Amino acid sequence: MDQKPLRSRAWFGRKGKDGFIYRAWMKNQGIPDHEFNGKPVIGICNTWSELTPCNAHFRELAESVKRGILEAGGFPVEFPVMSLGETLMKPTAMLYRNLASMDVEESIRANPIDGVVLLCGCDKTTPSLVMGACSVNIPTIVVSGGPMLTGNHRGSSIGTSDVWRYHDDVRVGKVLEEELVTIEAAMCRSRGHCAVMGTASSMACMVEALGLSLPGNAAIPAADSRRKVLAQLSGSRIVEMVKEDLKLSDILKREAFENAIRVNAAIGGSTNFVIHLLAIAGRIGVPLELKDFDPLSAGIPLIANLQPSGQYFMEDLFYAGGLPVVLKALDHLLHRDSITVNGKTIAENYANAESYNKDVISTTDAPFSTATGLAILTGNLCENGAVIKPSAASAHLMQHTGKAVVFEDIEDFKTRIDTPELDVDENSVLVLKNVGPKGYPGMPEVGNMGIPIKLLEKGVKDMVRISDGRMSGTGFGTVVLHVSPEAAAGGNFAVIKTGDLITLDVPNRTLNVDLTEDEFARRKQQYEPLSPVANRGYVKLYIDHVQQAHLGADMDFLTGGSGSEVVRDSH
Ligand code: FES
Ligand code: MG
């Protein structure tokens, strides 16, 4: 097979002044010419940051990747990109997903890189890196950082989903604020990302289901030495991928996206998966719409028994055989011939998988719940759609009509939710506006808003809640999310008022409010949107250009890609 000339030769293989400049400064790192000149140059795109605790072990992981690259005859170059820490960034890491993706895209394109390894962990670091890489489209492999070991507090296993439970326990006085300090340490007891099937784990499963990682990538705990082995093997493999010219667009076909959607439903994956997958599809040019998720997810039961939909943790998934077992259980539903980064089909990769613990990974014949992981709603409350996760919701609320209790923004919610005067009961529908992409801005994870304290005290555990925001992948409850158009975009959702009668009907996939078109029109005439919170900088760019949730909340000008070629030189 004739090999395509290496992309890096357009730098290091040049004659005269340009080649001199491109090579000379590499040599100040103590690298001999033969090390990098003429070998596949592999970028290691690192989201290491001590402000992204889930990714804080990535410098070590990068060393394993380097060993693999060197072993296979490539030359590794590690470079940093903007890292997004879910827990520390205000107002939400999601505001910066698109910014980080721009950093990734331009860093790859501008540099002499033949292939790239993406080191991803915490929620937004996976989609931002994959989105950016898709817009360049050179050979790419993903190495996830791995989940934390299961937390343990007083003999009970705990993980991130317990944050929400402890929060309610503190509010009603069942747990003291001081005890939280002990619980925090017990929960986050090792390196790695959230140990439940939250967004980070859903993203790790997504990349494996898409075929972008070596098999087994999703579940190996960060602290397990086999995580480093996988990183090293990925380093070796990317060198081969460069030789084969196996690019993202060769792997990310429509079939791969359909596989990922089915897998996400079966694992009870995060609702954030929807937004990120739509954005990735937009970058690589695969047609995918919000409405596609529903038929592809419908009828797929929960076969991975992991929190928040189920009981266990990512460590248990690993011991039970990992994601390949889930894929094999879905064999009859998957596109078996989808090609993956190791050059094999997805079906070849899971051929020998077997469940070592049927309490953790079952089959579609004996699922843990028949409620699917994802449903897409439409109706006059969400003209362009909304999302709910039935597997993590309450069966008795799947068809429910109740009076809206509307909060205009997050401050309004925080001020009034626990006041005795709030006119609310367990049949009410809590509505939170202005937490969408433009409105907040950045679409934070506040959709699983807390239940009013007076109802918690009565033992109410769940209520229908609706917002234009997102929910943490670790969250649960009968929570309708991603209402599009968001309130700040002035659709029907913007003019819902307290007392309006809202009907959620998940079996029929509808979300409606009992208002006439005339009433909507009348209210919209009087409606005044809140003024935007920023008039400069990145946040202004974001507010001006971010698309609605049903389009993946990418910026309009970032859709698609610009390829890997840069014709002009710098000197
Ligand atoms: Fe990083 Fe949950 S906070 S994965
Ligand atoms: Mg999150």
CA atoms within 13 A on the CB side of 213: 30
**By alpha-carbon position, which residue is closest to atom 3 of ligand 1?**
86
* Segment 172-181 mean pLDDT: 90
* Segment 461-486 mean pLDDT: 96
445 Cα–ligand 2 center, Å: 7
Tokens 């028949």 locate to 370
533 Cα–ligand 1 center, Å: 27
* Segment 471-476 mean pLDDT: 90
Distances (CA, A) of 192 to 56, 227, 274, 361, 435: 8, 11, 23, 22, 29
45: buried, middle or exposed (CB in 10 Å: 19+, 13-18, 0-12)? buried
Beta bridge partners of 520: none
156: buried, middle or exposed (CB in 10 Å: 19+, 13-18, 0-12)? exposed
* 375-534+541-550 carries CATH number 3.40.50.1100: no
Ion ligand 2: residues, Cβ under 5 Å: 86, 123, 199, 472
Check: CB of residue 360 under 8 Å from CB of residue 157: no
Check: CB of residue 128 under 8 Å from CB of residue 97: yes
Residues in CB range of 359: below 8 A, 6 or more apart: 305, 311, 312
Distances (CA, A) of 308 to 87, 186, 256, 386, 450: 18, 18, 25, 20, 16
Token output for 10: 């357009």
184 Cα–ligand 1 center, Å: 14
pTM: 0.97
Q: What is the pLDDT of residue 46?
A: 98
Check: CB of residue 110 under 8 Å from CB of residue 184: no
Q: For a ligand 1 pocket test, name from 50, 55, 58, 86 the mutation site with the most ligand atoms within 8 angstroms of its C-beta.
A: 86
How many whole angstroms separate alpha carbon 412 and alpha carbon 406? 9
Give 388's DSSP letter. E
How many whole angstroms separate alpha carbon 211 and alpha carbon 199? 18
87 Cα–ligand 1 center, Å: 7
User: Could you report the per-residue pLDDT of 282-324, keeping only the tens digit for each?
Assistant: 999 999 999 999 999 999 999 999 999 999 999 999 999 999 9
CA angle 237, 239, 241 (to 5 degrees): 70
Radius of gyration of the chain (CA): 24
The mean pLDDT value of the chain amounts to 96
**By alpha-carbon position, which residue is closest to atom 2 of ligand 1?**
194
Q: 517-529: buried (b, 16+ CB within 10 Å) or exposed (e) per residue? A: eeebeeeeeeeee
Within the chain, what is the greatest distance between any pair of CA atoms? 79
User: Could you report the per-residue pLDDT of 400-447, keeping only the tens digit for each?
Assistant: 999 999 999 999 999 999 999 999 999 999 999 999 999 999 999 999
Q: 383-408: buried (b, 16+ CB within 10 Å) or exposed (e) per residue? A: ebbbbbbbbbbbeebbebebbbbbbe
Ligand nearest to C-alpha 84: 1
Domain spans of the chain? 39-178+192-350, 375-534+541-550
The continuous run of DSSP H or E covering 430 comes out as: strand 429-432
Q: What is the pLDDT of residue 533?
A: 84
SS (H, E, C) 41-96: EEEEEECCCCCCHHHCCHHHHHHHHHHHHHHCCCEEEEEECCCCCCCCCCCCHHHH
CB neighbours (10 Å) of residue 332? 7
Q: Is the pLDDT of residue 1 over 70?
A: no
Tokens 């367990």 locate to 426
User: Could you report the per-residue pLDDT of 16-58, keeping only the tens digit for each?
Assistant: 999 999 999 999 999 999 999 999 999 999 999 999 999 999 9
Q: What is the pLDDT of residue 529?
A: 83
195 Cα–ligand 1 center, Å: 9
154 Cα–ligand 2 center, Å: 25
Residues in CB range of 95: below 8 A, 6 or more apart: 89, 440, 441, 442, 443, 539, 542
Ligand 1 residue neighbourhood (C-beta within 6 Å) = 54, 86-87, 122-123, 160, 193-194, 198, 200
Residues in CB range of 197: below 8 A, 6 or more apart: 205, 267, 268, 269, 270, 304, 306, 307, 308, 309, 310, 314, 473
Which atom of ligand 1 approaches the CA of 201 most closely?
Answer: 4
